[in-house]
Amino acid sequence: MKTDLESLEVCQKWQLPTAIKGAGIGLRSRHYQDIITKKPEVNWFEVISDNYFCAGGLPLFYLEKIRQDYPISLHGVGMSLGSTDPLNLDYLTRLKKLAARVEPDLISDHLSWISVNGHYLNDLIPLIYTEKVMEHVADRILQVQEFLGRQILIENPSPYLSFTDATMPEWEFIQGLVKKADCYLLLDVNNIYVNAVNNGFDPLKYLDNIPKARVKEMHLAGYEERENYLLDTHGYPVHPPVWELYQAALARFGAVPTSIEWDADIPSWEVLMAEAFKAEKLLKEVA
């Protein structure tokens, strides 16, 4: 399937809010106190939705306090958009309630699946890129968007394998998916780089094939170098080739809000701020 990138105009059924600008940071519990007491100069926070689905408790208390001073993007892992299980209405209802509570600018999840027969896995499992799978995922995204009453962003994965049954590369699958589902993209630049090295393609070609108007958020993170592949651990500073690819992404997509993801060996607040500052500097150059 070939898609004309210029024909991928966005249907404005819903309007995305626009408070989120510049570099943001993934909110992690060890930094709650620092943020509340010092009110650091961060543009916005990205929050793992699934961690705040309870009706009360300390995490939600901190989140609501932080929300008073900062815009929020909700990023989830549990939609399981590629699964053949029915959509999890309990999950979506909890997400909708959380969204009503914190009024996020953006809501996102992943291009993957994590559940089978109601059992949830701890990993995001990659999809086989075919027309049939595209139809299936697009249909589920449309249902989710109708349920939430807003468009969502889909994040590109970092798969460690490719499937012989796939009939198209990931970027072509994404082109078709955003058109069918009328959704947006959260482009993870680190994932593109890790995927390109592990699966042997040109990451710039990937960027060139992503429709510009759809990219509303980007991610930066650090991978781990293993013997013969890269592992997407989110446990290191952003590596130089990913910064380089990020600059190419900014040149193509403009100053898209970008968050720093750090999930393993979470460092001090100052280290995270330094990473966000680097991104902010590059964002200002293209803005």
Which residues would be at the binding site for Fe ion (CB under 5 A)? 188, 219
Q: Which of 198, 96, 217 is nearest to 154 (CA)?
A: 217
Minimum CB separation of residue 111 from Fe ion in Å reads 11
Minimum CB separation of residue 11 from Fe ion in Å reads 26
Minimum CB separation of residue 89 from Fe ion in Å reads 26
Mapping DSSP to helix (H, G, I), strand (E, B) and coil, where does residue 268 land? Answer: coil
Instruction: Give the whole-angstrom CA distance, residue 127 versus residue 148.
Output: 24
- The dihedrals phi and psi of 250, each to the nearest 5 degrees, come to -65, -40
Beta carbon nearer to Fe ion, 179 or 219? 219
Beta carbon nearer to Fe ion, 214 or 219? 219
Minimum CB separation of residue 42 from Fe ion in Å reads 18
Minimum CB separation of residue 4 from Fe ion in Å reads 28
Specify the DSSP class assigned to residue 9. P
Beta carbon nearer to Fe ion, 188 or 275? 188
Beta carbon nearer to Fe ion, 31 or 219? 219
Minimum CB separation of residue 242 from Fe ion in Å reads 12
Instruction: Give the whole-angstrom CA distance, residue 47 versus residue 45.
Output: 6
Read off the tokens for 68.
Answer: 């008073």
Strands (DSSP E) along the chain, which ranges? Answer: 23-26, 45-48, 72-75, 106-110, 113-116, 119-125, 153-155, 184-188, 215-220, 224-225, 230-231, 258-260
Beta carbon nearer to Fe ion, 102 or 260? 260
Beta carbon nearer to Fe ion, 94 or 219? 219
Cβ atoms of 42 and 6 closer than 8 Å: no
Minimum CB separation of residue 203 from Fe ion in Å reads 15
Beta carbon nearer to Fe ion, 157 or 176? 157
* Long-range contacts from 48-52, C-beta under 8 angstroms, 24+ separation: 48/75, 48/76, 48/77, 49/74, 49/75, 49/76, 49/78, 49/95, 49/98, 49/107, 50/76, 50/77, 50/78, 52/98, 52/102
